[in-house]
Amino acid sequence: MMKGNGLVSAGEKDHMKAAFLTAPRKVEIRDVPKPLLKNDDDVLLRTALAGLCGSDLHYFTADRIGGEAVPYPAVVGHECSAFVEAVGPSVKQFKAGDRVAVEPSVSCETCDQCRAGRPHTCRHVSFLGHPGERSGCLAEYFVMPERNLFSVPETLTMTEAMLVEPLSIALHARALAVGTLGPSIGVLGTGPIGLLLVQVLKTEGHGDIFATDRSDARIAAALKAGAAWSGNPDRLDVVSEIFKRKPLGLDAVFEASGDPAAIEQAVELVKPGGWIYQIGIPPDERISYLSARLRRKEIGLRFLRRQNRCVNQGLMLVKAKHLDIDWLATHTFKIEEAEKAFATAADRTDGVLKSSIVF
């Protein structure tokens, strides 16, 4: 109901469970007040599934990522599907009970970046589950603006709707590479985003996709996703193995792990005039490249920032059966098991590809 201060009540149940990161490798389940609808276009969402992204795992294993400290305690999580619980007075597209996929990046829509069609680099961005910006979806309820929600087609599962967010990053990476991809492509790091990128590239007709990862389960998954070859750099000299198959090198390499060793391998693998696309987030604030190799081969290097309005595109691709993605969600946990979910994903145990919390 509407209160005298203009806030909308979150509903009859005033409290909810939320998973808080409280220190490296520590998760506490707390009972906290349910969030309120503060703006007319706000939508209260009841979480269905919340996936654990690589950035969430960085927050779990260390107290900082890329030089940015984590302000504990924090509720993270931005990959999710949800049910509409309540809506603000100006919301027109959704009603209670609707199923939605979520664009986690809330942009101001007025700054120079937003006006230039780059809301993902908005000067005032507020990101779901980014500590210090917006409390995440590892909770029973959370709030997002109407413009950040997309209806889930009836033929899609809520698991697929959750996975559309990491798919959107793969789609954005592919869009950045328009005009630079030749027939041979590397994907270094085959976590969910790397695997989804392999699928996207395979669907487009790219046959020579070479994938690497330090997890044997993810090496096998890369072949299932469509890679022509995959190898574990802890067991093989992956650069030599790929050059055996492509002596001139690769036309482009997507680095999707953030591992400094993989970044060096990307520089070696790409052919003169080729491109490296940095998707993975390195754990340290500074990283180094072999500048002489980059210069002598005149390699193009481009970094990626999340994604740019690709969530709905992902929904449509999955609806049209162009991509098969639900098999990536290998492990599910209850919210009370959140610490185990984080540890399983971070330590890559039990053949995990994607850990998610089921609400």
The b/e string for 158-185 (b: 16+ C-beta within 10 A; e otherwise) is: bbbbbbbbbbbbbbbbbebbeeebeebb
pLDDT digits (tens, 9 = 90+) for 317-339: 999 999 999 999 999 999 999 99
Amino acid at 94: F
Domains delineated in the chain: 15-151+329-358 (3.90.180.10), 168-303 (3.40.50.720)
DSSP-assigned letter for residue 128? B
Distance of CA 359 to the CA centre of its chain: 20
Rounded CA separation 76/53 (Å): 10
With beta carbons less than 8 A apart as the criterion, state whether 198 and 118 touch.
no
Q: Tokens 């950035």 appear where? A: 55
With beta carbons less than 8 A apart as the criterion, state whether 152 and 161 touch.
yes
DSSP-assigned letter for residue 95? -
pLDDT digits (tens, 9 = 90+) for 19-72: 999 999 999 999 999 999 999 999 999 999 999 999 999 999 988 777 778 899
The arithmetic mean of pLDDT across residues 332-347, rounded, is: 98
With beta carbons less than 8 A apart as the criterion, state whether 25 and 44 touch.
no
Whether residue 3 is predicted with pLDDT greater than 70 in this model: the reply is no
pLDDT digits (tens, 9 = 90+) for 107-149: 999 999 999 999 999 999 999 999 889 999 999 999 999 999 9
The arithmetic mean of pLDDT across residues 277-296, rounded, is: 90
Whether residue 170 is predicted with pLDDT greater than 80 in this model: the reply is yes
341 strand-pairing partners: none
Predicted confidence at residue 286, as pLDDT, reads 86
